[in-house]
Amino acid sequence: MAIDAAARRGDFPILSRRVHDAPLVYLDSAASAQKPERVLAAVDAFYRGHYANVHRGAHTLSAEATAHYEAARVRVARFLNAPSERSVVFVRNATEGINLVAHAWGRQALHAGDEIVLTVAEHHANLVPWHLLAAERGAVIRGVPLGSDQRVDMEALAAAIGPRTKLVATFHLSNVLGVVNPVARIAELAHAVGALFLVDGAQAAPHLPIDVQALGADAYVFSGHKVGAPSGIGALWVREPLLRDWPPFLGGGEMIRTVEVDRSTYADIPMRFEAGTPAIAEAVGLHAALDYLDDLGLAAIWDHDRALARYAIGRLRALDGVTLYGPEGDDRGGIVPFNVADVHPHDVASALDARGVAVRAGHHCAQPLMRALGVRSTVRASFWLHTTRADIDLLVEAIEEVRDFFGAVA
């Protein structure tokens, strides 16, 4: 079933809002997705009917809340096609998931001179945790450049991976270039040298079918807020035999087996990695969001996304003075960065906002990539299942007016 985006708009209450007297055209889904009614309703019903702390109480509400929370874990495992929910850990967001790996795995596995392979197109979330870890452990980071086609340079990647490589960490779908990384191929390269392979799925999760087993990932992270779930929840999946061996990261209630005043022993997975009261209602919301996406079908969403990308790229390319970034092809989803000649991206974004069109401007938490593209920042329009061609037409119209309005402002 193809996505009927115009009909889907009705699923998102906020899309009926007006901004500066214009109807809202939300083209910032890559920063954070809006929430379908179904998610809001699920969270609200949970608080009104079943809320309590989890894993703790001997009473009905607590048992119900625990069942809801653990059902969400099973749901995430299914969404990722993970073999078991035992190695699904709830975190705040993709960022925390990556930091968890850096601490629990990295602080014991990395030694001086060991190497971490990253690409210049990573989000800061998949750079900074490794900077902090490398500084502590004396490890070396190898940055892989883009090829001339603005995809990750696979030859350079293969060359960067060597006998000292302990980790390869890269994105599944780029939050700027909109392109899918050949993850399964990278997994082979990483595994050939025995390195851990972590995939940052923050942008892929809302857009593509994910199968962590087919991808060959050892660890996979994503954020709930980008898939239409509430803020404050995300998930980390790690291959089970690996996760079982990692020491704890955060300490506190729920993750223990026995505690004395000066020492403790720790619970088995996944509890070992979930210290304290978790984001309970947020997990329930994540469950509802994944149901919503799977009902529509990730394959259909990905088709819709790519069709919109082709349409938008075609229309924007026809505009004088607009520069587009990112590759074209069947591996290109609906994230479209561009610049307007002689107008700063922030001014473009404000001018679009004045017409109700919400886009992002800046470095998109990808400063190294900006440098690789030879820019300081870009405008970025990003699409999702509720985005229509009409939205893109409004974007194009608004960009035309921007040029008129600003004339040449350096």
Partner 1 sequence: MGFLDQIYRDAVLEHARSPRNRGALDPYSVKQEGINPSCGDELVLYLLVRDGVVEDARFAGHGCAISQASASMMTQAVKGRAIAEVETLIAHFKAMIHGKGADPSLGDLVVLEGISKLHARVKCATLAWVTLDAALAAEAAGQRAGQVSVDEGSDGSA
Ligand X SMILES: Cc1ncc(COP(=O)(O)O)c(C=O)c1O
Residue numbers of the site for partner 1 (CB under 8 A)? 20, 55-60, 62-64, 66-67, 70, 74, 84-86, 256-258, 267-268, 271, 343-347, 349-351, 353-355, 361-363, 367, 370, 376-377, 401, 405-410
Residue 158 binds which of a second copy, ligand X, partner 1, none (CB < 5-8 A, kind-dependent): none
Among 2, 111, 350, 376, binds a second copy (CB under 8 A): 350
Angle at CA 295, nearest 5°, toward 291 and 300? Answer: 125
Please report whether residue 10 would count as binding ligand X according to CB under 6 A: no
Residue 408 binds which of ligand X, partner 1, a second copy, none (CB < 5-8 A, kind-dependent): partner 1
Query: Minimal distance in Å, beta carbon 200 to ligand X?
Result: 5
Residues 277-316 that bind ligand X (CB under 6 A): 277
Of 326, 321, 340, 333, nearest to 379 by C-alpha is: 340
Residues 326-365 that bind ligand X (CB under 6 A): 365
Residue 406 binds which of a second copy, partner 1, ligand X, none (CB < 5-8 A, kind-dependent): partner 1
Please report whether residue 141 would count as binding ligand X according to CB under 6 A: no
365 in catalytic set: yes
In this complex, which beta carbon is closest to partner 1, that of residue 58 or of residue 112? 58
In this complex, which beta carbon is closest to ligand X, that of residue 97 or of residue 345? 97
In this complex, which beta carbon is closest to ligand X, that of residue 118 or of residue 351? 118
Active-site residue (options: 15, 128, 324, 365): 365
Among 178, 201, 278, 333, binds a second copy (CB under 8 A): 278
Please report whether residue 48 would count as binding a second copy according to CB under 8 A: yes
In this complex, which beta carbon is closest to partner 1, that of residue 106 or of residue 270? 270
End-to-end CA distance of the chain: 47
Query: Minimal distance in Å, beta carbon 317 to a second copy?
Result: 23
Query: Minimal distance in Å, beta carbon 53 to ligand X?
Result: 7
Q: Measured in whole angstroms, how far is the alpha carbon of residue 45 from the centre of its chain?
A: 27
Q: Give the binding site for ligand X (CB under 6 A).
A: 93-95, 123, 125-126, 171, 175, 200, 202-203, 223, 225, 253, 276-277, 365
Catalogue the active-site residues.
365
